[in-house]
Structure 1
Amino acid sequence: MELTSVEDVAAACQDDTIVMWAAQGMRDGIRAWAHGEAVAVASPDLNRRDRLTVRGPADQVAVLVRRALPELAPSYRVMAERDLAGELADLLPGSGPVRPFEWMETATPPAPHDAGDEETGWLLETDAEVSALLTEAAPSAWAVPGLPGIRRWAGVRSAEGRLVATAADAWSCPEVGFVAGVATAPALRGRGYGRRVCAFVFRSLIATHGRVALVVDTDNRAAIGVYERLGMRLRPVAALAVPV
């Protein structure tokens, strides 16, 4: 059964944060299906990838994947919690490889950081500064100024006015705020600047959307630790290539 409203998707996935983010408010180009207890959402160009996000019992999800992928572009990859992705790899011959990463989320705003000499807030007309910081601190960041879906950048400025940390409100939807492009100047890491900018963005997006999420590489233990201290819950996920 094809789903046509965000309310239908929410009911089918039990308001799961990952699936609701994939649904993006059912904007133009999004498609969704349900089968039994399974749900699948096809999202073009979401966080720089075409994604088929799935949830439910593996055998029922496999039915949806076999149905949906022939109707989508070859660039689509299945995104699922990691255990489910492993089961799907066994059920869908020729699939792989499973690429692991981490989804993190919270609906609880972190406590305000103690005030210091630094200034934290949303940035205005600072694409060049953000680009320079990302080039130095996070050259492989998926969020960079000018990409579709990136709404605004937050930052921490030192007492001298230098941009020392940044994070983006990117690919958010009405039901889920999303954070990307987190970076801190390498020479200033360990001073809490990344934690400060993330706490600010998390509070802002939770106030607007009710919950906030992000994805992070599995081997980035330092960042995962920061996000956990800010109250985020980790959910192991994976991307899976499935032949049509």
Structure 2
Amino acid sequence: MGPKVRAWALGEAVAVACPDLNRRDRLTVCGPTGAVSTLVRWALAQAGPSYRMVGERALVEEVVARDAGLRVLGTFEWMDTPPGAPGAALTRPAGEEAGPGRVGWLRDDQEGEVSALLARAAPSAWAVPGVTGVRRWAGVRDDDGHLVAVAADAWSCPPVGFLAGVATAPAVRGRGYGERVCRFALGELAAAHERVALMVDTDNHAAIALYERLGLRGRPLAAAALDAT
């Protein structure tokens, strides 16, 4: 419940409105379908039409089916570790600056390299340098010193460390660079938070398999909005 965050409840249904979270105004919901449907309309009237409903996929689809004014925007997977169990595959490596052949946190003056890599490898990434809530970048370089994989600590909060902006240069995919940077960043986050989490597109099977190897487990989510937004 940070600044400008609002929450409403109706019976066992809960809706939490958080502005500018992951580059959008988010309305996270849970509870029985009927109560959530009523609560969503109330919350959107209070918070404004810019908010996008996010929740378990089946719940969101049921709410949209009841309300002709809402539409599903997309589906994705939320992956995390259970509280107190960061996953056997997550170990916290010794901190180091990311030089040739090494993985570590990048300096602020290296964010231009991050932007260039994302433009080539993940132009639709939600986390990019300079966006509100993106705190720092982990990176790994090849033996020639070129930045080849990155991942961001973004939108984290005390209970949950959140990973975003994962990208690997197309020319070196399949060589383990992406796994190295994810293992490092997730290990660092697991050491500082109760659990770690990320979101991934449902059809990104390779990424989902990687995150499962690292001890994360997923559940399907969906996002919806008013037709006019």
- TM-score by length of structure 2 reads 0.89
Q: Residue 181 of structure 1 corresponds to which residue in structure 2?
A: 165
Once residues 111 and 73 of structure 2 are traced to their aligned partners in structure 1, the CA distance between those partners, rounded to angstroms, is 35
Report Cα offsets for 1:59-78 as digits up to 9, x if no partner.
12112112111011221111
Structure 2 contact 148–177 (Cα < 8 Å) conserved: yes
What pairs with 1:48-67 in structure 2 (closer than 5 Å)?
A: 48-67=23-42
In the TM superposition, what is the alpha-carbon distance from 1:118 to its structure 2 partner? 2.3
Match of 1:10 in 2: none
Query: Match of 1:108?
Result: 86
The letter of the residue matching 2:86 is T
Structure 1 unmatched runs, 5+: 1-25
The runs of at least 4 aligned residues of structure 1 exceeding 3 Å deviation read 111-115
CA distance in 1, matches of 2:142, 2:116: 16
Tell me the distance in 2 between the aligned counterparts of 1:111 and 1:61: 36
Higher relative contact order (CA 8 A, sep 6+): 2
Q: Identical aligned pairs, as a percentage?
A: 61
Q: For residues 140 and 86 of structure 2, what CA distance do their matches in structure 1 show?
A: 22
In the TM superposition, 1:36-185 aligns within 5 A as: 36-106=11-81, 107-109=85-87, 110-112=89-91, 118-124=101-107, 125-185=109-169
Gap runs ≥5 in structure 2: 95-99
- Kindly indicate which of the two structures has a greater share of residues assigned to helix: 1
- Kindly tell me: are residues 243 and 67 of structure 1, through their superposed partners in 2, closer, same or farther at Cα, counting changes over 3 Å? farther
1:135, CA displacement in angstroms? 0.9
Report matched runs for 1:210-225 at 5 Å. 210-225=194-209
Q: State the Cα distance separating 1:50 from its structure 2 match.
A: 0.8
- When the two structures are superposed, what TM-score results if normalisation uses the length of structure 1? 0.84
Cα distance, 1:175 vs structure 2: 1.3
Encode CA deviations 1:79-115: one digit per residue, 9 max, x unaligned: 0110101111122232213521111111424244999
Change (3 A) 1:113 1:176: closer
Q: Answer whether contact 1:80 1:238 (CA < 8 A) is retained.
A: yes
Counterpart-to-counterpart distance in 1, 2:54 and 2:92 = 34
Does the 8 A contact of 2:151 with 2:167 survive in 1? yes
Q: Is the CA contact 1:54–1:80 (under 8 Å) kept in the aligned structure 2?
A: yes
Deviation at 1:199, TM superposition (A): 0.9
- Aligned pair count reads 218
- Which residue is 2:192 aligned to? 208
Aligned Cα RMSD in Å? 1.9
Q: Indicate the SS of the match to 2:70.
A: coil
Maintained 8 Å contact 1:113/1:196: no
What secondary structure, in the 3-state scheme, does the structure 2 residue paired with 1:241 have?
strand
Partner of 2:175: 191
1:168-214, Cα deviation, whole Å (9 max, x unpaired): 00011111111111001111000111111111111111111111111
Is the CA contact 2:90–2:215 (under 8 Å) kept in the aligned structure 1?
no
Matched, 1:31 2:14: no
Secondary structure (helix, strand or coil) at the match of 1:80 reads: strand
Give yes or no for contact 1:35–1:60 (8 Å, CA) kept in 2: yes
